[in-house]
Amino acid sequence: MDHITLLGYIAAILTSLSFIPQAWLVIRTGRTDGISLLMYAAFTLGVACWLIYGLFIQAFPVVAANAVTLTLAVIIFTVTARERWASRNAIR
Amino acid sequence: MDHITLLGYIAAILTSLSFIPQAWLVIRTGRTDGISLLMYAAFTLGVACWLIYGLFIQAFPVVAANAVTLTLAVIIFTVTARERWASRNAIR
């Protein structure tokens, strides 16, 4: 593998796995105060598009990286949405 | 432009621009409670790698999308790091 391809793999691994500490943090603490729900709505949809795109062009690294990211993004989005919903009901 | 390429562009736009509401939220409110600093450290580094990778392979969409994302990720990381640092000093 040449250096440029290696850099691409490092980039894919870093950006995909970076969502692990964020997912773990929201699961463990349930604190989603500073998290933008709109961000995770758009981001989750975008990553789903990347995944379908990767399947179409048959690019394994694109599929693998985005499958991991999609799973983590869905977790973060779901926990954040549930917390927002719960706190909205608590105010009423 | 074929449908698959269009899907790739939609994916790139969604995942890049999704960080705008998050950056705006932390700038406006200064609330970074639920945000994982470790996530933004790894993510920012990863996006920087994507950007360099895009420059090497001369892929304009990769460069453009990651230049936007890098700017937003740096903002979110900086505000979050500053808040953590300030609250740590406040405790002492």
The runs of H, that is alpha helices, within A18-59 are 19-29, 37-56
Res B45: pLDDT: 98
Q: What total of structural domains would you count in chain B? A: 1
Res A21: pLDDT: 98
Domain CATH code at residue B85: 1.20.1280.290
Range of the domain at A22: 3-91
What's at A74, amino acid-wise?
V
CA distance B92 to chain A (A): 23
Other CB atoms within 10 Å distance of the CB of residue B81: 14
Please report residues of A whose CB lies closer than 8 A to that of B24: 36
Q: Is the pLDDT of residue B91 over 70?
A: no
A38 and B15 within 8 Å at the Cβ level: the answer is no
Please report residues of B whose CB lies closer than 8 A to that of A43: 14-15, 18-19
Which letter does DSSP use for residue A18 in this model? T
A56-80 tens-digit pLDDT = 999 888 899 999 999 999 999 999 9
Give ipTM to 2 decimals. Answer: 0.89
Res A52: pLDDT: 97
Q: Is the pLDDT of residue A27 over 80?
A: yes
Taking the mean position of all CA atoms in its chain, how far away is CA B32? 15
Q: Is the pLDDT of residue A30 over 70?
A: yes
Contact (Cβ atoms closer than 8 angstroms) between residue A54 and residue A62: yes
> Which of the residues A29, A39, A72, A75 would you substitute to probe the B interface, choosing the one with the greatest number of B C-beta atoms within 10 Å?
A39
Which letter does DSSP use for residue B54 in this model? H
